[in-house]
Amino acid sequence: MKKLILIDGNSMAFRAFYGLPLLSNQSGLHTNAIFGYARLLEKLIEEEAPTHFLVAFDAGKSTFRHKQYEEYKGGRQKTPPELGEQFAPIRRLIDAYGIKRYEVEEYEADDIIGTLSRKADEEGFQTIIISGDKDLTQLASENTVIYYTKKGISDIDRYTPEHIQEIYGLKPEQIIDLKGLMGDKSDNIPGVPGVGEKTALKLLGEHGSVEAVLENLEGVKGKKLKENLMEHREDALMSKSLATIYREVPLDFDMNSLAFANENAEEKYEIFKELEFESLLKNMDASETEDKKEFDSERVDALDQLGADVSFHLEVRADNYLVHGPEHIAVTDGERTFISNAEDIDREGLEQFLKSRETINVYDIKRQMGLLKHLDIHFEDFDTDIMLGSFLLDPSKKIIDVAETVGQFSVNIDSDDFHYGKGRNAKQPIGEEHDKFLTDKVMAVHHVGPLMAESLQKDDMYDLWKDLEIPLAKVLSGMEYRGITVDAARLRDMESEIKERLDEIEGKIYELAGEEFNINSPKQLGVVLFEKLELPVIKKTKTGYSTAVDVLEELQSRHEIVSYLLDYRSLSKLQSTYVIGLQGEIKEDSRIHTRFNQTLAQTGRLSSVEPNLQNIPIRIDEGRRIRKAFVPKDDSHVLLALDYSQIELRVLAHITSDETMTSAFTSDTDIHTKTAMEVFGVERADVTSDMRRNAKAVNFGIVYGISDYGLSQNLGITRKEAKTFIDNYLNSFPEVKLFMKSIIQDAKRDGYVKTLLNRRRYIPDIQSRNFNAKSFAERTAMNSPIQGSAADIIKLAMVKYEKSEEAQKFNAELLLQIHDELIFDIPREEVEAFIPVIKDIMENAMALSVPLKVDYGYGSDWYDVK
């Protein structure tokens, strides 16, 4: 069967443009309409499988309709330049798909489509017309359906004659009569005054056409309506004529030339790449493009047959490389590849091999180091890590597996999920297939190594990669492997103690509620609070009543049960996440070995998993007691904690060179008090605790990039008051205000912002027309350089510590990093001597225009460190 798709080219460009956020690629070209177009074409090709295809465009400004009616399409808004620049690429895209494109002087796209759909009907085609203009529905017939796209392009209404009958009670050819009577604002077609859709449909229901209505004016009810029709009969007839699609456009081609073959994958690929359409590129990789890199390498059966520059890969499916050892090994020098089961590896041979290489490239150093430890090998002399590189190039790209990363360099190999399967489809591949998978993987890593270095070089992040992230991975590996000693007995005691208290509170809650229910279920709790006890609903969530802390706090005075609920909440959190959760993480060696994720947080911060040791309670003493369970390796040691004081605000003072702020830090005055003095215009002595609290919250907001709404929530004030605070703040620190403005400009100009060490964060939404998205993007632009630079500094300190000969003379062990804080285990007798050394490294990790200040404490458990 022959199937023809006709697209109303201009109308779809507008729909795509207004339906999608304003995207742009790195060279600054806006791409949202092009992207929408590409997605539309992909979808149509896949779902409709057309045999013939054409996109019709309007040509020039003047058409035969303008001769008939000068004001035709008058009053239209100018095409925004952001869209205008996308027309040429859209045409190129259509050509790349091998789709016929047509426009002709004097006629509109509608007329071309009308003419072709008539011909198609005559020749027995099935035709689909795609448009965002309802006028086209007049072309619907038994074999022609109109896909009308609402809201963007993904939401499609299908107009068949039956459908049109259903909604209007009209035949398709009567659509023009409808337009004749009611007119069309968007095309500046007048119609008859006072006649809208309702009246027009009524008239047409009675008479059938504009002409028939005008001939039977006596039968029309309503004096004014009759008058209008009489007076504007010419308008009505002209309007109908304007709305009528001309179906006899002279065309210099026949239907055969519309044949569609779905070829030219290469050209498509080029365009997608240039415009950075990642999702579409991935689609192509998965389906059509057979440009899978075939890695030819000779299989060798001994490591010593490999050259000096290699890529190295230990493979295990499991996430936790500290628990699970390697199952396979794959090493290549680009020409020869060695593959083996891990159990067959000769430990000494491998260690010797690693030590004697010139360069070693890997994907995920920390993981490789962790896996090597299972073979009892401590080796860290890796040179490059393409996973870390990929994260630096664009931290917003999720780090998934080797396939994902090398895919960004047009190298296509099977993903881990595909090879191993997921869930019930999980496989344990072996033999030839698995060997090929491993070969492809290590070859891909090897191939991408130099490309990665080049890309990072180009983006000024090569040093950040080689001198910071890669050395840091080795430091983190040591910390993960080392672990931190935890006193399980201590947690067990806490568990039973908390259990008793929870049971007691639970009983009280049931008693006050008059029934037993699951207190942990917000849904059930909501019913009890807001239906049974009829407490006022303060806030709703998407699914029902909110029972969050701030809501409960407001309800506290209204019912006795609420205080018990608050206690229950915080206690059960302590119990499940920390007291019980942590016990489950203690390994044979009585230690907890968290893993740090170096490639996740957008700002460049680390995160910590299994368990998360970066959110152990501290603020409330009850929770803080959890820290009593974290202890040094033995009685002769202590835990030492050093934290940067106000590192983000110091970074801000440095970046902005704000005088007031700089002098506050240079003279080491309390920054929140100083802020309060400036914002409220008072002397130091007159700063009340309330003022300081407010100032602190504003500083907090600056550091974390919260909105006026967020600040209002934090302080329990109105958004307006919060905004006033922020405005006052910015006026008190004029250079900060200036910085905020210019960083947003930078983000707009470059598409990204960067930290002191050139770490980037792309902010595409800075161009968004969606207020929320844009505001969020602006706050991100302001905040990321601050938080990211702070992350750079502490990372640098960690690397410098590891490299410091002086520091290494001590028997100190770095255990944890908590964003602005480092935790060490160290012999008690060394601690006093060590403190000035490590403090110096941290405070001088990077030279800023304000001093960095480090506070510290030590003790015989983590609670005691204050």
E strand map for 398-512: 484-485
Least distance to DNA from the beta carbon of 545, Å?
7
Cα angle at 364 between 359 and 366, to 5 degrees? 95
User: Largest Cα–Cα distance in the chain?
Assistant: 111
Query: Would you give the binding string for DNA spanning residues 758-797, x where CB under 7 A is met?
Result: -------------xx--x---xx-----------------
Among 21, 152, 544, 859, binds DNA (CB under 7 A): 544
If one asks whether residue 334 binds DNA (CB under 7 A), the answer comes out as: no
Continuous H helices in 232-375: 233-243, 265-275, 278-286, 347-355, 365-374
**Straight-line distance from the first to the last Cα atom of the chain, in angstroms, rounded to the nearest whole number:** 79
Question: Which residue, 22 or 249, is less far from DNA as judged by CB?
Answer: 22
If one asks whether residue 423 binds DNA (CB under 7 A), the answer comes out as: yes
Question: Which residue, 163 or 719, is less far from DNA as judged by CB?
Answer: 719
If one asks whether residue 619 binds DNA (CB under 7 A), the answer comes out as: yes
Among 71, 709, 727, 742, binds DNA (CB under 7 A): 709
User: What tokens does 325 get?
Assistant: 């050892």
The structure tokens 């990204």 sit at 752
Least distance to DNA from the beta carbon of 647, Å?
8
Least distance to DNA from the beta carbon of 705, Å?
5
If one asks whether residue 98 binds DNA (CB under 7 A), the answer comes out as: no
Least distance to DNA from the beta carbon of 548, Å?
4
Q: State the Cα–Cα distance between residues 373 and 480, nearest whole angstrom.
A: 11
Q: Which stretch binds DNA (CB under 7 A): 329-337, 618-626, 846-854, 858-866?
A: 618-626
Least distance to DNA from the beta carbon of 254, Å?
49
Among 80, 429, 617, 859, binds DNA (CB under 7 A): 617
Instruction: Annotate 710-731 with b (16+ C-beta within 10 A) or e (fewer).
Output: bbbebbebeeeebbebbebbbe
Indicate the SS3 state at residue 452. helix
Least distance to DNA from the beta carbon of 770, Å?
8
If one asks whether residue 607 binds DNA (CB under 7 A), the answer comes out as: yes
Q: State the Cα–Cα distance between residues 792 and 845, nearest whole angstrom.
A: 10
Applying CB under 7 A, what is the total number of residues that bind DNA?
A: 61
Question: Which residue, 605 or 637, is less far from DNA as judged by CB?
Answer: 605
Residue 385 bridge partners (DSSP)? 362
Subset of residues 549 to 588 that bind DNA, contact rule: CB under 7 A: 549, 552, 569-570, 573-574, 576-577, 580-581, 584
If one asks whether residue 320 binds DNA (CB under 7 A), the answer comes out as: no
If one asks whether residue 844 binds DNA (CB under 7 A), the answer comes out as: no
Least distance to DNA from the beta carbon of 721, Å?
14
Q: What length is written for the chain?
A: 866
DSSP one-letter string for 832-857: HHHHHHHHHHHHTSS--SS---EEEE
Nearest to 862 by CA among 626, 611, 698: 626
Question: Which residue, 496 or 615, is less far from DNA as judged by CB?
Answer: 615
If one asks whether residue 384 binds DNA (CB under 7 A), the answer comes out as: no
Subset of residues 488 to 517 that bind DNA, contact rule: CB under 7 A: none
Question: Which residue, 389 or 788, is less far from DNA as judged by CB?
Answer: 788
If one asks whether residue 846 binds DNA (CB under 7 A), the answer comes out as: no
Among 149, 337, 485, 547, binds DNA (CB under 7 A): 547
Least distance to DNA from the beta carbon of 474, Å?
21
If one asks whether residue 523 binds DNA (CB under 7 A), the answer comes out as: yes
User: 41-46 — which CB contacts under 8 Å span 24+ positions?
Assistant: 41/93, 41/94, 41/97, 41/99, 42/280, 42/283, 44/5, 44/128, 44/130, 45/97, 45/262
If one asks whether residue 541 binds DNA (CB under 7 A), the answer comes out as: yes
DSSP one-letter string for 686-735: G--HHHHHHHHHHHHHHHHT--HHHHHHHHT--HHHHHHHHHHHHHHSHH
Q: State the Cα–Cα distance between residues 645 and 102, nearest whole angstrom.
A: 66
Question: Which residue, 361 or 603, is less far from DNA as judged by CB?
Answer: 603
Nearest to 352 by CA among 301, 306, 300: 306
User: What tokens does 50 get?
Assistant: 């057309």
Count helices and strands in the chain by DSSP H and E runs: 38, 22
Residues at the contact surface with DNA, assessed by CB under 7 A = 423, 518, 520-524, 541-544, 546-549, 552, 569-570, 573-574, 576-577, 580-581, 584, 597, 600-603, 607-612, 614-620, 623-624, 704-707, 709-710, 719, 771-772, 775, 779-780, 818-821
